[in-house]
């Protein structure tokens, strides 16, 4: 029997009053219903990462700062990720990009999916940028995504996903589970 796939649902905003935490809890709740999928909420705000302050490039894998070591340990243990991100000025929030840039090998040969939210295009432009970043980090991103509208999927500050959103998320999770499991073989090749 295949061991559980580990999935991090990453909250990509640290702004006070952010909506990402409620969205991430929705993602985690849907994912938790699946057999053989262990999910965990990972909030970048909990790691207090300053603007990248490591003296060595992340590709060296040499981390001097305690906050970097804690972040690396958290990210390394997952097989797949769902990034929950708002769209800020047609891109991703600076703290999310900063958190991603802290690490390198910890991201390699894993799978990612995206749930975004925004005013115009539901955060789709933020996801476009994340896909490029993930490609550089050797992360396989799945095609399905959930792009939430601040007008239709939120009632003021409350997150109220519209009809069909659960199904969209389920398709994303189906793809992410398949790719996450397949990439284990790349990370842990069979003994020759």
**Does residue 192 fall inside a structural domain?**
no
Dist. CA 93–CA 80, nearest whole Å: 21
For residue 1, name the pLDDT band (cuts at 50, 70, 90).
low
Number of domains composing the chain: 1
List the CATH number of the domain containing 15: 3.40.50.360
**Does residue 28 fall inside a structural domain?**
yes
Residue 169, classed as helix, strand or coil, is helix
pLDDT of residue 113: 98
Which residues are within 8 A (CB) of 35 and not within 5 positions of it... i.e. 6 or more apart?
none
**Does residue 61 fall inside a structural domain?**
yes
Strands 158-159 and 154-155: antiparallel
pLDDT of residue 192: 46
How high does pLDDT run on average in the chain? Answer: 95
pLDDT of residue 28: 98
For residue 188, name the pLDDT band (cuts at 50, 70, 90).
confident
| 131 neighbors 141 (Cβ within 8 angstroms) | yes
By CB neighbour count within 10 A (0-12 exposed, 13-18 middle, 19+ buried), where does 79 fall? Answer: buried
Query: Between these two residues, 3 and 182, which has the higher pLDDT value?
Result: 182
R_g of the chain computed on alpha carbons: 16
Q: What domain range is 97 assigned to?
A: 5-187
Question: Can you tell me the mean pLDDT for 108-132?
Answer: 97
The pLDDT of residue 2 is above 70:
no
pLDDT of residue 69: 98
pLDDT of residue 167: 98
DSSP 56-99: S-GGG----SHHHHHHHHHHHT-SEEEEEEE-BTTB--HHHHHH
Question: Can you tell me the mean pLDDT for 46-57?
Answer: 97
Question: Can you tell me the mean pLDDT for 148-167?
Answer: 95
At 117-128, the pLDDT tens digits run 999 899 999 999
- Please give the structure tokens belonging to residue 73: 């340990």
Which residues are within 8 A (CB) of 128 and not within 5 positions of it... i.e. 6 or more apart?
none
């Amino acid at each position: 029997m295949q061991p559980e796939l580990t999935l991090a649902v990453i909250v990509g905003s640290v702004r006070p009053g952010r909506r990402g935490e409620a969205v991430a809890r929705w993602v985690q709740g849907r994912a938790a219903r699946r057999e053989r999928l262990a999910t965990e909420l990972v909030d970048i705000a909990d790691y207090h990462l300053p603007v990248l302050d490591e003296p060595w490039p992340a590709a060296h894998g040499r981390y001097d700062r305690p906050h970097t070591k804690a972040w690396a340990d958290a990210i390394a243990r997952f097989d797949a990720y769902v990034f929950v991100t708002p769209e800020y000025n047609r891109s991703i929030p600076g703290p999310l990009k900063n958190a991603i840039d802290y690490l390198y090998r910890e991201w390699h040969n894993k799978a990612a999916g995206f749930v975004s939210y925004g005013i115009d295009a539901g955060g789709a432009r933020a996801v476009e940028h994340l896909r490029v970043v993930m490609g550089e980090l050797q992360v396989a991103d799945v095609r399905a995504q959930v792009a939430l509208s601040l007008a239709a999927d939120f009632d003021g500050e409350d997150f109220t996903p519209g009809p069909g959103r659960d199904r969209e998320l389920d398709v994303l999770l189906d793809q992410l589970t398949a790719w996450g499991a397949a990439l284990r073989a790349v990370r842990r090749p069979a003994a020759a």
